[in-house]
């Protein structure tokens, strides 16, 4: 089984914000795969699907960003995914202010890079060897508070780029499901930078 976790905040007021790009990718995958409406379990919305010969669980934690690990920890326990298998079984999709808008960056593991939802997941799973897909949302302009920036909606002139990023990120998750992290990093880290 493959578990794809998209990070964001629940509630319509957060829809379309920079912090919710992880949710946007899950919605795009669910649309592509024509999955049924999500079920609420493990403090998350869950959608079951099949892609590329794999059973896939699409997850959007409903705990708010900074406590995303509560939900992911419950799912990993329920499906009995051992710590040593996290690197092949789970991917976290999240926003990253340190990347320009539209840039994708896949990593096999490492630190959270300051992304609090990812940090909570790594802490609760007891491993930093969890693949993650970071989606660039750009730096806040001037002296703007970073927290306000990530909770703001994309500006009208950014809409096309953010929608393209969601589609490209979804393509990359599909490749991860089929071929794993090495192929995905090789193809999408490079193509994202071009």
For the chain of 194 residues, list the mean pLDDT of each consecutive stretch of 10: 96 94 97 96 97 96 95 97 93 95 95 92 95 94 89 92 96 96 92 57
Structure tokens at 181: 């992290």
| pTM score of the predicted model | 0.95
Helix (H, G, I), strand (E, B) or coil at 47: strand
| Confidence at residue 50, expressed as pLDDT on a 0 to 100 scale | 94
Catalytic residue among 2, 19, 105, 134: 19
Is position 54 annotated as part of the catalytic site?
Answer: no
Structure tokens at 27: 């919605």
* pLDDT tens per residue, range 51-71: 999 999 999 999 999 999 999
Query: Is the torsion defined by CA of 18, 149, 132, 188 positive or negative?
Result: positive
């Amino acid at each position: 089984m493959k578990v794809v976790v998209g990070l964001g905040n629940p509630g319509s007021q957060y829809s379309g914000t920079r912090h919710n790009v992880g949710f946007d990718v899950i919605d795009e995958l669910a649309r592509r795969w024509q999955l049924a409406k999500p079920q609420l379990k493990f403090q998350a919305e869950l959608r079951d699907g099949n892609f590329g010969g794999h059973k896939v669980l699409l997850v959007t934690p409903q705990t708010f960003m900074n406590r995303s690990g509560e939900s992911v920890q419950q799912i990993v326990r329920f499906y009995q995914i051992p710590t040593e298998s996290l690197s092949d079984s789970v991917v976290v999709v999240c926003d990253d202010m340190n990347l320009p808008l539209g840039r994708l960056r896949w990593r096999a593991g490492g630190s959270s890079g300051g992304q609090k939802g990812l940090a909570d997941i790594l802490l609760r799973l007891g491993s930093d060897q969890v693949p993650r897909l970071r989606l660039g949302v750009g730096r806040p302009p001037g002296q703007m508070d970073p927290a306000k920036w990530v909770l703001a909606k994309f500006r009208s002139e950014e809409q096309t780029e953010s929608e393209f990023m969601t589609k490209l990120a979804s393509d990359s998750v599909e490749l991860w499901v089929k071929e794993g992290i090495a192929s995905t990093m090789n193809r999408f880290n490079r193509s994202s930078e071009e």
